[in-house]
Chains A and B, each alone.
Chain A
């Protein structure tokens, strides 16, 4: 029983990062109707930013979030201006299709560049407090993972407030719902697209920092993180940020449960099976409306 609880707790802690990764992907998809399959590679870049800040200057990984986020925001702006922004005039279906293809090419480029620049080795950030744990009865919780979950939750709460309470956030939601009507409100739709894409990238950057501190990074982690994010988005729909976060935690728990009950390999399979099942049961309404 205690081993179960321990496993589920670990799953939930990892799941918070899935939620964070998924919200970035969902934000871009909901607003621009583009599926950036290089989202996982952006997470990888965020992870390396944190890794190098720590290795070169001993920057605390939770402080380096403040660098990785804005840095990936800038990367997002550049990617939008150089690549994805060229698709905005297309019809929805071809826009999604082409964005997948561009994301795919981008993923290859980022993956290969990361290997060339930093080798294919696995890296992690081991802060001074890395070994510390919190105990609750028999339950052991590593402090870095708890911190990652807390930061993920805080970032998403901040994003929620931004989208709900500010003019810029409302403009993003309005654009997601009906870009043409939004432009009739005086909202510069293309600038909103760019902001949303950059915000999605920044969220990937923050997620990457947290992955580097609580887990490990390598140039190859991109695809699996993109898949995790996709699974969570499919589970949660595009309805709400909180829903996505909860779905992420649930996926983490389900993975742990599957690994514990059936064997380690099922950790990776369970999410994919859930994903395929939901896809086939709801072929049209995959991503719910609104934001």
Chain B
């Protein structure tokens, strides 16, 4: 991405609360939150080739830990850090056994594990988690917006760094062919585990921000497979294994969802499901690659004789 464009985007994101109304800032927050969710999933799936269908578990743990600590009086920054660490620890617990599984088995294995966690949370914490009156009284959107903005910047920056690092090259080698990667000396298990831990910590941070942002929600909702599915949709839509695809996918996803939800709640799921299938089949590079595809199609058109 061009530096000028990047700077312009950063300035716009920072200035948004000062130039736009509360509703727009809220939309911006939701987009940025999904940027974190998408990037955290993209790191492992886009670069390491590991489709984690249990991503919601990390989001949920981050939300649970951060919210409990914060409501207990811990400063939100410390609570969020603890949430991210807790998610990374869970990543270790889930990753150690499941990363020995290859491809689809990793995908369905992680899905099963996160479902176990969700059901356990739903049973042990069946009550709505609502903020007490004093916290509601002090509730302001602005710090939450900037927190999520910072997380979005950190997660995108992380992916950017990984994409340029030796570590990232190792991940890509594993994605392309795990056996070949092993034979050229990439320790695939460690690479995947490291990527999973970072991915889990970022997702935990997103969950933490979610727990800090919402006035009330059922704890199990933060563990819902919907968070995983959203990540998959946004990343594929925007462009998997790219730095700027997931943010584009997230913006597209949230804004279209908000626009469609005004009419019918289920419509956006239908639209996204269909768009997703089309992207998987016909546009494997995602929206970020759309221009490239158009260029290639034009370029390959046979010249008239």
Contacts and interface: CB of A to CB of B under 8 A. Distances in A.
Determine if chain A interacts with chain B. yes
Interface of A: 35, 83, 86, 93, 96-98, 100-102, 104-109, 111-113, 115-116, 223, 227, 230-231, 265, 268-269, 272-273, 275-276, 279-280, 283-284, 286
A116 B115 contact: no
A232 B183 CA distance: 35
Nearest to B274: A109
A116 B119 contact: no
A112 B269 contact: yes
Interface string B122-136: 110000000000000
B101 A279 contact: yes
B270 A102 contact: no
B104 A104 contact: no
A223 B56 CA distance: 15
Interface centre among B102, B108, B122 (most CB of A within 10 A): B108
Given A104-B229, A105-B277, A112-B266, 4 more contacts: A100-B104, A101-B232, A113-B270, A273-B116
Interface in B246-305: 264, 266-267, 269-270, 272-274, 276-277, 280-281
B104 A97 contact: yes
B90 to A, nearest CB: 14
B114 to A, nearest CB: 10
Given A108-B272, A108-B276, A275-B112, A265 B123 contact: yes
B182 to A, nearest CB: 15
B98 A272 contact: no
A75 to B, nearest CB: 15
10 contacts: A97-B103, A100-B51, A109-B269, A109-B273, A109-B277, A116-B264, A223-B225, A276-B109, A283-B100, A286-B105
Interface string B84-96: 0000000000000
B229 A116 contact: no
A284 B104 CA distance: 11
A86 B269 CA distance: 23
Nearest to B273: A108
B236 interface: yes
A104 B107 CA distance: 12
A97 B51 contact: yes
B42 to A, nearest CB: 14
Contacts of A286: 101, 105
Q: How large is the interface on B (under 10, 10 to 19, 20 to 34, 35 or more residues)?
A: 35 or more
Contact of A105 (B103, B113, B115, B273): B273
Contact of B116 (A108, A113, A272, A283): A272
B272 A101 contact: no
B51 A105 contact: no
B120 interface: yes
A285 to B, nearest CB: 10
A187 to B, nearest CB: 26
A269 B119 contact: yes
A98 B270 contact: no
Contacts of B270: 108-109, 112-113, 116
B107 A276 contact: no
A93 B225 CA distance: 24
A107 B109 CA distance: 19
Contacts of B97: 276, 279-280
A223 B236 CA distance: 21
Given A108-B273, A112-B266, A116-B266, A102 B100 contact: no
A93 B103 contact: yes
B273 A106 contact: yes
A101 B269 contact: no
Contacts of B264: 116
B107 A100 contact: yes
Contacts of B272: 108
Nearest to B49: A97
A286 to B, nearest CB: 5
B229 A96 contact: no
Which 7 A-B pairs rank lowest in CB-CB distance, beginning with the nearest? A108-B273, A109-B273, A112-B270, A105-B277, A112-B269, A105-B276, A265-B123
Contact of A107 (B100, B111, B273): B273
B280 A112 contact: no
Contact of A102 (B111, B115, B120, B280): B280
A36 to B, nearest CB: 12
Given A83-B277, A100-B51, A112 B104 contact: no
Given A223-B225, A276-B113, A112 B273 contact: yes
A182 to B, nearest CB: 23
A155 to B, nearest CB: 25
A227 B111 CA distance: 9
B15 to A, nearest CB: 36
Contacts of B280: 98, 101-102, 105
Contacts of A273: 116
A107 B232 CA distance: 13
Contact of B267 (A116, A268, A280): A116
Contacts of A109: 269-270, 273-274, 277
A93 B107 CA distance: 12
A86 B270 CA distance: 21
